[in-house]
Amino acid sequence: MSSLSITLIQTNLHWENKKANLEMLSKKIEGIKEKTEVIILPEMFSTGFSMKPELLAENMEGETVQWMKKNSAEKKVILTGSIIIKENNEFFNRLVWMMPNGKYGVYDKKHLFAYGDEQLRYSAGSKRVIASVKGWKINLQVCYDLRFPVWARQSPISIKKEPVISLEYDLLIYVANWPERRSHAWKTLLQARAIEKQCYVIGVNRLGEDGNEIHYSGDSMIIDPLGEIIYQKTDEEDIYTFKLEKNNLTEVREKFPFWKDADSFTLNNL
């Protein structure tokens, strides 16, 4: 069974300063010595969680996407995190899944944070994205999506040419700018998603204080399919690499096949 090495980068961010953030993150990525296959950055890693997309947005040929292509190719890893994108005169909080060959997938944040007026500045996405690498299926989501479990619903699927039913994905990733004042919800919901979806869950959050004097404690986490915390870091910058094991996931799902008893329904907009 395959393994997958993933690196989490929990870091402070320079408020609305792309140049400083990209220079800082380049050094952190370059300094990773462990063998890794996926590097995960926080939500809006080049700017912080800004409500000024008209000043900070770029298109998919812009500086930050080009930076992702360069670093992904040089490090020979998949690089992911969300940035502010303008497309067809709309702004999106867009997660980019950049591969070393320069090809990429994108996920536009579905649930916009009305408490912070995100829905007044950005357009919501309408489609989930499940990436694939080394036989792993990875559901990519952004921050506030965490509060809506139906959006992360696991659907049993048939494997072609085999009489086998499997689950739709193996790993659920959230990139975030989740404030410290609601960190209990962040930590609790990440564990809940792992337990209910019977998958690994990774949450990568930022650290420090933004331009609105909102404090972030990080609390980036890796959680196993039973809801046990493998890794957590609070109030400290950190770069952490861990190898996920597919056989551990398979063993949990076979020993506790709770997913077979799930309610049967579909979502029209998935």
Q: Which of 132, 136, 151, 144 is nearest to 174 (CA)?
A: 144
Q: Six-digit token pair at 174?
A: 């959230």
Active site residue 168: no
Q: Read off the pLDDT of residues 75-84 as tens digits, 9 standing for 90 and up.
A: 999 999 999 9
> Which is the catalytic residue, given 43, 118, 168, 180?
43
Is 220 in contact with 205 (CB distance < 8 Å)?
yes
Active site (annotated) includes residue 197: no
**Could you report the per-residue pLDDT of 138-193, keeping only the tens digit for each?**
999 999 999 999 999 998 775 555 545 579 999 999 999 999 999 999 999 999 99
Residue 267 has pLDDT above 90, yes or no: no
The residue from 18, 69, 110, 143 that is catalytic is: 143
Rounded Cα gap, residues 114 and 109, in angstroms: 13
User: Does position 114 have pLDDT exceeding 60, yes or no?
Assistant: yes
CATH assignment of 3-261, among 3.20.20.140, 3.60.110.10, 1.20.1250.20, 3.40.1080.10: 3.60.110.10
Mean of pLDDT values over 222-231: 98
Active-site residue flag, 143: yes
CB 224 within 8 A of CB 184: no
Q: Average pLDDT in the 199-224 region?
A: 98
